[in-house]
Structure 1
Amino acid sequence: MAVFTVVTDTDLAQWMRHYDLGEIVDFRGIPSGIENSNFFVTTTHGAYVLTIFEKLTAEQLPFYLDLMRHLASHGVPAPDPVPRNDGALFGLLHGKPTAFVTKLAGSAELAPGVEHCAEVGQMLARMHLAGRDFEHRQPNLRSLGWWQQTVPVVLPFVGDAQRELLEAELAHQTAFFASSDYAAMPEGPCHCDLFRDNVLFAPAAPDTGHSVRLGGFFDFYFAGCDKWLFDLAVTVNDWCVDLTTGRLDPARTEAMLRAYQTVRPFTPEELRHWRDMLRAGAYRFWVSRLYDFYLPRTAALLQPHDPTHFERILRERLSGTDTLSALSSCN
């Protein structure tokens, strides 16, 4: 989330005419993230997030908004898009698709422990199963095809060692995606970006025996239909990693994988290719961060991420020292 399109008080007042959300109490931009323009809007009726979609088209947007509504109706805590007075879930602001969604309660946990990882793992599996009967199908737009288009664009900006790794891993992933094992893996709607700052937690009730309660998943605007194991690998690569070294923390990794499997057991193909999916998850974000770092867009509050973080993670996953038995040990 960031601010690429500036919204004035006058813009917001005119936009609010399309909704029955009361009077504006507070309005401010959200600085984190890199894709859309986002604002917290508090009214006399509640708290909301206003999102202006900078890249997604009006034709693409229903997939994301309808997916959030579908998940929320199936017991997965997700932001609920707010219908306009005409019933539509979005309109155009400054010529760009724009929507209101409800703001979830809680706060992000940027230093997660074992219990946080277990909560996320279990809910992610529930989310995957809840999406099985979702009627829309849209591929993950940041998958192999995007890597093949983007890697040649970033290669001129990197050194020889990075170039060699980018090209070698792209060749490996291209072959993996073409394999029969890959084709056999279960798939469906995935979040594809379930990082620590896209999950909220709230204090658990005293009588539950837990210290934390998952408040919800948000920022579904990289979602797409993909292999469920890829979604889990992306999540593990952020939630269970040592941020300094890129290595997986065994206790947090085991907690997330065991909790996930209490809802959806892994298939034999998934067990065989856990390391490949961890590599794919790391590669996807290394490539995107290289692109955003070297070819940035102008944004009022943009804070680009360090691409070397996911280079470290990919190199760790290639070593295999912390990944070879992680999934099978939880089977």
Structure 2
Amino acid sequence: MAVFTEVSVDQAQKLAHNLGLGQVVALQGIEGGIENTNYFLTTDQGEWVLTLFERLTHAQLPFYLHLMKHLAQRGVRVPDPQAKLAGVRLGKGEDELLHTVAGKPAAVVNRLPGKSVLAPAAAHCAVVGEALAHMHLAGADYDRQQPNLRGLAWWNETVPVVLPHLDDAQRSLIESELAYQNHVAQSAAYEGLPRGPVHADLFRDNAIFDLARQGEDATPVLGGFFDFYFAGCDTWLFDLAVCLNDWAIDWPTGAHDAERAQAMLDAYQAVRPLTAGERQLLPALLRAGALRFWISRLWDFHLPREASMLKAHDPAHFERVLRERVARPYTLS
């Protein structure tokens, strides 16, 4: 369990009181996170998720929290940040959705129903593709701006830091791919891509399905998307590419899974058809998505931080995905 900052029941109760959430019944650390401290917070009024932010600052967080509130108010199934009661004093750097616990920026959101499906079928990919398109459109009028903090600028800063930990073949691949992505980002076609707020980390474990409910013909029912704390303003195509690189990949080899990819793309385009420029640059953005997560996993693996319990993801997985995307570019039919 990645618990960087311990939270006492008394601290959780004070926060619950300020939010009008009732009496704390249970507080349990959540396994799996590598960026933030997360707890399941149960009160006599419901179930919530308490997040303490270990890297992001009070100044950065309003973008994420108000984006989730914006999407939730438009019917997108995402966590809904809970606001302070009227009259509760705002601490330094806080607003109505952003709080402070144990000296760290914090937020409380409702706990969405369901569980992650780590071996998705084409039907799950279709549900995610449709919801992702709706999310992009719902966020189009969001008026706050913040760049994707794990975008190209961060790649350029971080690759030199991880290079000493790579062998010759890995260094050659990561340097050549970084140069390629800088070239793509300078192109007119890239500049013309539709963009707006993106999740930027919508992997299988950041979506849940309500397993107690199913649609017609046993269609999966989305419980929601969560963990928006890598979100930022970027191209919608990059967001879609990140999804395809996780939901529609053969895990052992990193190879493209055509059936699942087509299901996701068809469902996405039924809501928001891709532009000609997006269709042209999909292979490049699939490579970009693989590079982004290879770099971040190398960084987490070789330069870890202390936590109560922490296991970094294997960086070799996205090295395999990137090699597959370079060797066998995927193009839309």
- Give the TM-score range, shorter chain: over 0.9
Query: Are the aligned partners of 1:203 and 1:211 in contact in 2 as well (CA < 8 Å)?
Result: no
1:18 paired with 2:18, answer yes
Query: Are the aligned partners of 2:17 and 2:23 in contact in 1 as well (CA < 8 Å)?
Result: no
Question: 1:225 Cα shift?
Answer: 0.6
Counterpart residue type for residue 109 of structure 1: V
Question: 1:204 Cα shift?
Answer: 7.0
Query: Are the aligned partners of 2:214 and 2:221 in contact in 1 as well (CA < 8 Å)?
Result: no
Question: 1:219 Cα shift?
Answer: 0.4
Question: 1:2 Cα shift?
Answer: 2.8
Question: 1:262 Cα shift?
Answer: 0.1
CA distance in 2: counterparts of 1:210 and 1:136, whole angstroms: 38
- Give the TM-score normalised by structure 1: 0.95
1:239 paired with 2:232, answer no
- Give the TM-score normalised by structure 2: 0.95
1:33 paired with 2:33, answer yes
Summarize deviations over 1:179-232 as a string: whole Å, max 9, x none: 000000000000000000000101475663333101100000000010000000
Question: 1:16 Cα shift?
Answer: 3.0
CA distance in 1: counterparts of 2:29 and 2:306, whole angstroms: 15
SS in 2 for 1:67: helix
CA distance in 2: counterparts of 1:261 and 1:122, whole angstroms: 8
1:128-147 counterparts in 2 under 5 A?
128-147=136-155
Name the structure 2 match of 1:296: 304
Name the structure 1 match of 2:52: 52
Summarize deviations over 1:63-107 as a string: whole Å, max 9, x none: 001000111111110000011223711221222111111110011
Change (3 A) 1:279 1:9: same
Which of 117, 126, 129 is 2:134 aligned to? Answer: 126
Instruction: List gaps (5 residues or longer) in structure 2.
Output: 89-94
Percent identity reads 54
SS in 2 for 1:37: strand
CA distance in 2: counterparts of 1:61 and 1:177, whole angstroms: 26
Name the structure 2 match of 1:116: 124
Question: 1:302 Cα shift?
Answer: 1.5
Which of 84, 89, 101 is 2:97 aligned to? Answer: 89
CA distance in 1: counterparts of 2:42 and 2:130, whole angstroms: 31
Question: 1:27 Cα shift?
Answer: 1.0
CA distance in 2: counterparts of 1:238 and 1:218, whole angstroms: 16
CA distance in 2: counterparts of 1:189 and 1:115, whole angstroms: 25
1:324 paired with 2:330, answer yes
Name the structure 2 match of 1:269: 277
CA distance in 2: counterparts of 1:189 and 1:207, whole angstroms: 29
Change (3 A) 1:324 1:9: closer
Query: Are the aligned partners of 2:13 and 2:23 in contact in 1 as well (CA < 8 Å)?
Result: no
Name the structure 1 match of 2:207: 199
Name the structure 2 match of 1:65: 65
1:246-285 counterparts in 2 under 5 A?
246-285=254-293
Name the structure 2 match of 1:155: 163
SS in 1 for 2:106: strand
Name the structure 2 match of 1:76: 76
Summarize deviations over 1:17-74 as a string: whole Å, max 9, x none: 3221111122110121210000001111000000001111111111001000111111
Instruction: List gaps (5 residues or longer) in structure 1.
Output: none
Moved more, 22-31 or 244-253: 22-31
